[in-house]
Amino acid sequence: MASLISDLLDRLHKEYVENRSGTPLQGVPSLEGIDEDAFGICIAMADGQIYESGDTDVEFCIQSISKAFTYGLALCDQGKERVDATIDMEPSGDAFNEISLHPVTGRPRNPMINAGAIAASSLVAGQSTAEQTERIHSLYETYAGRELGFAADVFADEMRDGNRNRAISYMLAENDKLRTEPDDAVEVYLRQCSVLVTCRDLAMMGATLANNGINPVTEKRAIDVGLAERVLSVMSTCGMYDAAGEWVAEVGMAAKSGVGGGILAVLPGQLAIAVFSPRLDEHGNSVRGVAACRRLSKDLELHALHVTRGARGAVRTSYDLLEAPSALQRPEADRLVLEEHGHRARIYELQGDLLFSGAESVTRQMCADGRDLEYAVIDVRSIDDVADVAARLLVGVRTMLREWGCEPVLIDHADRSLPEPPEAAAEERAQVFTTRAAALEWIEEQLLARYGEERAPEADIDFRSHPLFSDVDASFVDALESRMQTLEFADGETIVQQGDEDAGVFIILSGRVRQSLKRAGGSERAIATLTPGTCFGDVYLATGTPHPMTVRAEGDVRLLTLTREKFDEVRAEDVELYATLLGVFMHAIREEQGRMLAVIAGTRTSDLQSASAL
């Protein structure tokens, strides 16, 4: 799975690495030796999974991207009311370092420009700049999930040449918008901008915001859910400075850029994208970063306004064939084979809108299991909408599974919510079934053909060799056979009607029968399909209760029946035969109960029987 998305990032990296337009940040001597052609792309899913390409381990100064995280800390320390009285949340349309405040309120336009960021830094709790700086640095490490460095040389250069920021700070103080001294506020702000991160760190910080403020790897909370929403909202409208409107229209993700060459984009509940490339455009944003984010948003359909329903379609549940076999009741020999090899097939039931993040989690799970499987069943009947990128990912994972020797199987509606790509050759197309029952029965047949003894499929069963009588004396079989009647039914004919009080026990010699239950509304629900070598009606005959299900023939069926009338005759005339017959029925009932309990427990019938014997 990693290769599917990583290959996408590699292709993107190869395409944009040749773009050498833009200029790295000027005027900071300590940054003059930076590799201006460095380029890294990283995607962090909201559950912490990382995909990356290029220079994702290169450290760089976080710079203005820090503004979003410090703004969240100020909200936490001072509360929304105090922060809102100090900093507005409106796009400015001006450059990030513009020396201006609102002409009426005297507040900075938003916390993503320098004026708002300096005010936010001053609002961080602490009795000294050292204490404020330590709290900010520690918070960033919680977001990133590791210890982060500090570029002392960059901080020294920016402090020495930071007159513009000082001018902004004194203007804030003049309007009573600082909690600390102006020079202290600038120092804290420039220190936070000098924290060192990698592209991977930045992606994980974004994934923490996407994950409702909890780092998905360390599971430590960095910010409350409500405050994370506020931070992401302001990033959406103001994070890209005077290019914010174009960004929202074309990319559609909450974002923040920095003059160090980093860009962070976040899609709540799904993922974060981080890009590092020092070459900047006229707005101070990374040229390659903007291009890569725009392309990923388009190719992966990540624009926030594209999401019309739930943010994540995903695996509702998954289970192997041992946990949930088909409703087909098979002879003992077949059941033992399926118990031995049922773990080789796994079913994945999907739900919701299948967008990129949902498809990523689905295919990642399938790939994690795939090397140990021979069949992977994807049930997409509960999927509402399938994004093109999700369909491409599923096609890719199906190809990968086949390379590992695992056959993909689809359960889909007749009108196909997940169609095959038109270029797919016939041998590349997955087996498709419209019902779960049909898919599971087909897989069981494949496993039986591969691992079972060579046999004619569902061969006729002779009464005397029926598994039901394997442990009883031949004289009992003779006595019983003389009282039984042979019946034949054509496809679709009713053998037993639900509620029938006179139905006896039926032993299937050839063909299949399907049991169904009538619902309150009148429709019928299929319960089980029985094959030669099995029987039905024994429980209800022995207990004297009406048959609770309707039973119909599937194809031509031949069976033997012991009617209730004949059963009553045996009880009255031959106590020994009656007792043996009850013993046979009870043994069959115990075996069936053991099989059902094994399914519920997710273990083998033989294991369950061994455990119960201890």
Q: Is 241 a catalytic residue?
A: yes
Instruction: Tell me if residue 375 is catalytic.
Output: no
Is 215 annotated for ligand binding? no
Which of 186, 259, 266, 386 is the catalytic position?
259
Q: Is 423 annotated as a binding residue?
A: no
| Residue 432 annotated as catalytic | no
Structure-token pair, residue 510: 């050839």
Answer for the pair 414, 383: CB distance below 8 angstroms, yes or no: no
Active site residue 58: no
Within 109-224, residue ranges assigned H as helices are 114-123, 129-144, 152-160, 163-174, 182-193, 199-210
Active-site hit among 16, 28, 64, 357: 64
| Candidate list 51, 71, 241, 540, residue with the active-site label | 241
183 HSE (CA, 13 A, CB side) = 2
197 catalytically annotated: no
Instruction: Kindly tell me the burial class for residue 152, based on how many C-beta atoms sit within 10 Å of its own C-beta (0-12, 13-18, 19 or more).
Output: exposed
Cβ partners under 8 Å of residue 394, min gap 6: 359, 362, 363, 378, 418
Element (H, E) at 350: strand 345-354
With beta carbons less than 8 A apart as the criterion, state whether 507 and 463 touch. Answer: yes
> Does the annotation place 114 within a ligand binding site?
yes
Provide DSSP, 256-306. Answer: EE-TTSEEEEEETTTEEEEEE---B-TTS-BHHHHHHHHHHHHHTT--GGG
For residue 460 the two structure tokens come to: 């006729």
| Cα 287 from Cα 263, distance rounded (Å) | 10
Distance CA 499, CA 551 (A): 11
Q: How many helices (H) and strands (E) does the chain have?
A: 20, 19
Q: Is 241 annotated as a binding-site member?
A: yes
Q: Which of 16, 140, 189, 540 is catalytic?
A: 189
Residue with tokens 């993909």: 408
Q: Is 259 annotated as contributing to ligand binding?
A: yes
> Per the residue annotation, which of 67, 277, 307, 357 is the catalytic one?
67
d(CA 566, CA 574): 11
Tokens for 60, please give them: 């760089």
Distance (Å, whole) CA 12 – CA 300: 12
64 annotated among ligand-binding-site residues: yes
**Alpha-carbon torsion 408, 411, 412, 414, what sign?**
positive
In the annotated binding site, the residues are 64, 114, 158, 165, 189, 241, 259
- Please give the positions annotated as active site: 64, 67, 189, 241, 259
Question: Binding site for substrate: residue ranges?
Answer: 64, 114, 158, 165, 189, 241, 259
